[in-house]
Amino acid sequence: MERETAIQFKDVSKIYKLKRKDKEVSKDQKTQYFYALKDISFEVKKGQVLGILGTNGSGKSTMALVLSGIASPDEGEIVVNGEQALVAINTGLNKELTGLENIELKGALLGLPKKKIKEITDGVIEFAEIGDFLYQPVKKYSSGMKSRLGFSINLCLDPDILIIDEALSVGDKGFAKKCLARMNELKEDGKTIIFISHSLPQVREFCDTAMWLEGGKMKEYGAIEEVCDHYAEYIEHYHTLTKAEKKAEREEKFKERIIKNRKVSWIDRLFG
Amino acid sequence: MFTSAKYVLNENYQNFHRIVSISKYELLAEMRESKLGVFWNFANPAIQVLTYWFVFGYVFNRKDVHDIPYLVWMLGGMVVWFFISPCITDGCNSVYRKVNVITKMKFPVSILPMTVVLEKMFDQFCLFIIMIVIFATQGYYPDLHWLGLIYYLFCAIVFSVSLSLTTSVLNMLARDTRKLILACMRLLLYLTPILWNIERVGQGKVSKIIMCNPIYYLVQGYRDCFFYHRGFAAYGWSMAWFWGITLALFFFGSYMMYKFKTRFIDMI
C-alpha cells in the first residue's frame, strides 16, 4: 500500500550567521556563514515514525525547528501535508500562576479552543501526577514536576505530525515509560511522529525508520536497525579516539560547514 | 500589500481566544507578583496624576482652561495618554518578551501587539474609575456625550496596534528601537498638548506641526466628549489625518510581520 507523503524536503539548507564581537580578527573574518543543515532531501510518509539521531551540534534541534515550520530554510523547499506541532516542554509556563491556570494558559498558547482545554484538563492533571500541587504556583514546583506538567499538556495536542525534541529526558524512568506508552497510542492512531534523541535504545524501541545527522549533513536514512547499528559503531569509534584526534575531527567538520565568500545583499545585512 | 493585511487581520480574528487568555493570565501573573495586587493598578495612575497636578496645577498655578478647573481639564486629556503611552512602549517589546515562546512553538506572532493592548485596557478602566470619582467631586458627571469615548478608545486601540506591529518587528531586528521609543515617548508627553492648552502656542506653524501628532487627535477627542461637546464632525481634518496615518502604519506593520514571520528565530 502506497502511503501519502507527510513531509518532503528538497535540498534544504539552513544557514546561520556567526558574528565575532571581539576586535582581534580582521573585518571580513568577523561575519561568517555556517551551514546548520546542508542539502538535505528526504521524504516522510504518513504514519511513519522517524527517529533522528546525531551527536551534539549535528543540527538536530535546527532540524526540529525547520520541520515544525518555526524556522524557514534558506535554500531548498519543504512540502508539508497536515499540521505540525513541536513538543516544547517548559515553554509558556508562568511561574506565578497555579498549575491549573497554567494548563489553561498553555492550552491557549498552543491554540486550543476553550472547550477542548476543559476536556483535556482532567487528563493532564492525572497524567502529570501533580496531585495537591495543582493549586500551587508553579514556582513552588520541582523541576521534574514542571516538565511533567508542560509535557502532559503537549501530549494532549492533536496534530497530524508530532515532532519531539529530546523530550523524554525529563522526569524519572516511570514517567518516561508512561510517555512512551502515550506516544505508542498516538502511533497506533496513525500519526506521523518525528522523534529526535540521542538515546539509541529509545529510538530503537519506538521508531520504524531512522535518520543520522552528522555535521549538518544527512549521513544515512533508512530502516531503523541498519542506521542504529551504523550510528552505534560510529559512536564507539569516536570514543576510542584520543583527545587530540577528537578535536581534529570536530574542527574538520566545522570547517566544512563554513561558507566562503557568501554574497549577501545590503538589505539582508541590515536586517541580519 | 493587501495579502499581508488580510493575513494579520485573519490571524487576530481566528486567535481571539488565544489573545484574551494570554492577556488575562499575563495580568493575573503580574498581580500575583505583589502582595497588594490590583491595588497598584489603581494607585500607580493616581499617584502620577497627583504629581502632574501638584507641579502644574499647584506650583505653577495654571489657570482654569475655558472655565474648566485645571485638574479636571488635565485629567480629561491625561486619561488617554496613560493608555496609549504604555501601549506603545510595551507594544514595541511585545514580540521580544515572548521570544522563548515563538522560537519553541508554532505561534501566530502578529497577535502579540493586540495582547499588550488588551492588557493595558484593564489599567485604562481602573483609571476611568478614579477619573469619574475626581470629576464627580468637581461637579462633572457622566452624560450621553461620554458615549463618544467608545469611538475614541477604539481609535486609540487601532492606532497602538498598528504602531506596535511596526515597532515590535523593528525591535526584533535591532533592540535599539525600544530605547528610541522610550526616549521619544518622554518627549512626546510634553510635545502633545496634554498638560498645556494648544491655544498657548498661537495659530502659527508651531501649532500646525503639533496638530500633526496623531495622539493629539485622541486627546482632543477625549476632551471634546467630556467638556466641549462639538461632535466628531468638528474635527474632520484631524480625523482624516489620524486615520490616514493609522492605516499607513497598519499596512506597513502587517507587511513587516508577514515578511518576517518565519525569520524571527534567526534574529535573536
Whether A18 has its CB under 8 Å from any CB of chain B: the answer is: no
Q: Which residue has the cell 462633572?
A: B140
Whether chain B has a CB inside 8 Å of the CB on A113: the answer is yes
**A67 and A92 co-located in one domain:** no
Interface of B with A in 105-134 (CB under 8 A): 105-108
User: Between chains, do A88 and B105 touch, taking CB under 8 Å as contact?
Assistant: yes
Q: Are residues A88 and A69 in the same domain?
A: no
pLDDT single digits (tens) B108-131: 888 889 999 999 999 888 888 888
Residue matched to cell numbers 502511503: A3
Inside any domain, residue B268? no
Provide the domain count of chain B. 1
The SS3 assignment for A71 reads: coil
Range(s) of the domain holding residue B87: 2-263
Last residue of a domain, one of A97, A125, A158: A158
Mutate: best of A16, A68, A75, A101, partner B, most B CBs <10 A = A101
Render pLDDT for A233-249 as a digit per residue (tens, 0 to 9): 888 888 888 888 888 87
Establish how many alpha carbons lie within 13 A of residue A231's alpha carbon, considering only the half-sphere containing its beta carbon: 29
- How far apart are the C-alpha atoms of A147 and A172, rounded to whole Å? 11
Q: What is the pLDDT of residue B180?
A: 92
- Positions of chain B with pLDDT lower than 50, given as ranges: none
Residue A89 DSSP one-character state: S
pLDDT digits (tens, 9 = 90+) for A206-233: 888 888 888 888 888 888 888 888 888 8
Same structural domain, A16 and A29: yes
Please indicate, yes or no, if residue B158 is contained in any of the structural domains: yes
Provide the residue type at B170 as one letter: L
| Least confident piece of the model among A26-40, A115-129, A174-188, A210-224 | A26-40
- Contact B268/A at CB under 8 A: no
ipTM: 0.77
Decide if B29 is inside a domain.
yes
Domain stops at, among A136, A158, A180:
A158
Q: Are A76 and A13 within one domain?
A: yes
Nearest-by-CA chain B residue for A270: B173
**8 Å CB contact of A91 and B263:** no
Considering the domain architecture, whether residues A93 and A205 belong to the same structural domain is answered as no
Cell numbers at A66, concatenated = 525547520
Q: Cβ of A86 and B106 within 8 Å?
A: yes
**Res. A1 pLDDT band, cuts 50 70 90:** very low
Q: Is A70 in contact with B106 (Cβ distance < 8 A)?
A: yes
Note whether A91 contacts B: Cβ–Cβ < 8 A.
yes
Residue B190 is assigned to a structural domain of this protein = yes
The reply to whether A62 and A185 lie within a common domain is: yes
- In this prediction the pTM is 0.83
Please say whether the dihedral angle defined by the alpha carbons of residues A91, A95, A100 and A101, taken in this order, is positive or negative.
negative
* Contact in structure between B116 and B91 (CB atoms under 8 Å): yes
Cell numbers for A33, please give them.
556563514
Q: What percent of chain A has pLDDT over 90?
A: 0
Q: Tell me the C-alpha distance between A104 and A88, whole Å.
A: 16
As for how many domains chain A has, the answer is 2
In this predicted model, what pLDDT tens digit does every residue of A100-135 receive, in sequence order? Answer: 888 888 888 888 888 888 888 888 888 888 778 888
| CA–CA dist B156, A167 (Å, integer) | 43
Mean pLDDT of the A153-159 span: 77
* A214 and A125 within one domain: no
A203: left (phi over 0), alpha (psi -120 to 50) or beta: alpha
* B103 touching chain A per CB within 8 A: yes
Q: What cell was used for B33?
A: 507578583
Residue A30 near residue A19, CB atoms below 8 Å: yes
From A36, which residue of chain B is nearest by alpha-carbon distance?
A: B266
Q: Residue B33: inside a domain, yes or no?
A: yes
Average pLDDT score over chain B: 86
Grid cell in block for residue A51: 527517529
Q: Which domain holds residue A148?
A: 84-158
- Per-residue model confidence as pLDDT tens digits over B43-53: 888 898 888 88
User: CB distance B25–A91 less than 8 Å?
Assistant: no
CATH of the domain at A39: 3.40.50.300
Look at B104 and A86 and tell me if their CB atoms are within 8 Å.
Answer: yes
The answer to whether A190 touches A6, Cβ cutoff 8 Å, is no
A58 and A95 within one domain:
no
- Same domain assignment for residues A65 and A141: no
Nearest-neighbour CA in chain A from B165: distance (Å): 16
State whether residue B100 sits within 8 Å of chain A by CB: yes
Which residues of chain A are within 8 Å of residue B10 when distances are taken between CB atoms? none
Of the three residues A112, A137, A158, the one that is the final residue of a domain is: A158
At residue A84's C-alpha, the angle toward residues A50 and A86, to 5°, is 75
Which pLDDT belongs to residue A21? Answer: 66
Which candidate in A70, A155, A164 is best for mutational testing of the B interface (most B CBs within 10 A)?
A70
- d(CA B92, CA B25) in angstroms, rounded, equals 20
Indicate whether A118 and A132 sit together in one domain.
yes
Q: Indicate yes or no: CB of B32 within 8 angstroms of CB of A97.
A: yes
A65 touches B at CB < 8 Å: yes
Based on the domain organization, do A202 and A259 belong to the same domain?
A: yes
| Burial class of A48 by CB neighbour count within 10 A (0 to 12, 13 to 18, 19+) | buried
Contacts of B212 (CB under 8 A, 6+ apart): B241
Does B256 map to a domain?
Answer: yes
Query: Position B169: which residue type?
Result: V
Is residue A68 domain-shared with residue A173, that is, in the same domain?
Answer: yes
Neighbours of B169 (CB within 10 A): 29
